[in-house]
Amino acid sequence: MSDWIDTHCHLDADEFAADRDAVRRRAAAAGVAQCVIPAVAAAHFERVRTLAHANGDAYALGIHPLLTAQAGPQDLEALDAQLALRAGDARLVAVGEIGLDHFVPGLDAARQAHFYREQLRIAAHHGLPVILHVRRSADALLRELRRIPVAGGIAHAFNGSWQQACQFVDLGFRLGFGGTLSYERSQQIRRLATQLPLEAIVLETDAPDIPPHWLYRTAQERAAGHPQGRNEPAELTRIGAVLAQLRGLSSEAVAEATTRNACAALPRLAGLRGSR
């Protein structure tokens, strides 16, 4: 069985509270050898670190753009301090999830931008790659990356244009693709996943979010009492099979390539191979 890396999985989320260990066992049984668990707030730093060590996974520390309204200078100080304290921790692979969200209404764009810039500076200081939240914000993210260079990373759940994709790749980033690939109507994403160099692509679930089409429930189905399907890291292998089909490759070839790409994007992952 091929090994896969889920480069973005919120295994610490409350949705997994009742069966978190079983979820990780199912992923391992499906061939997911490693999950990267990004934090979304300073209050979660210790949680993701402990979880990664318990399961032989990896983690990232950062403040999510959707949570910047509740964050302050002390959270940036906590991030800097934790990165210094855990500098020798091989399972700490990136600063993330950070970025900008220009989709959700009512957010303070200037505040988001401040936290994004400061976290880029912190990542650069510690020599770590970043995991970026990219939601209708690719150009703004790229503009700041040119001003504050970092050691590459991953543009998570990428949904931008071909030109934006190429700019991220030119800056040393890989692009994260997940459950959205499984929807035939996601033509732009499927086209990008087919046309980009395979070396530019990593796979992710964003579990428990972004369920693939086989888990998705429409509003009508939910109203009829069918709950929305919860995404899990075990779904990564089926998502990988979709990518393989789109590109005319074997699942084994896609697993090998995307694992290699994940280790290139987050170099500390390479040292964790076989450590579960």
Is residue 10 marked as binding? Answer: yes
Residue 156 assigned to a binding site: yes
Q: Which helix (H) or strand (E) holds 144?
A: helix 138-147
Calpha distance 118→91 (Å, rounded): 23
**Under DSSP, is residue 121 helix (H, G, I), strand (E, B) or coil?**
helix
CB-CB contact of 36 with 6 (8 Å): yes
Distance CA 154, CA 265 (A): 6
206 has binding-site annotation: yes
> Taking a C-beta distance cutoff of 8 angstroms, is the pair 231, 27 a contact?
no
Q: How far is CA 167 from the centre of its chain?
A: 19
Binding residues: 8, 10, 97, 133, 156, 206
Binding residues for a divalent metal cation: 8, 10, 97, 133, 156, 206
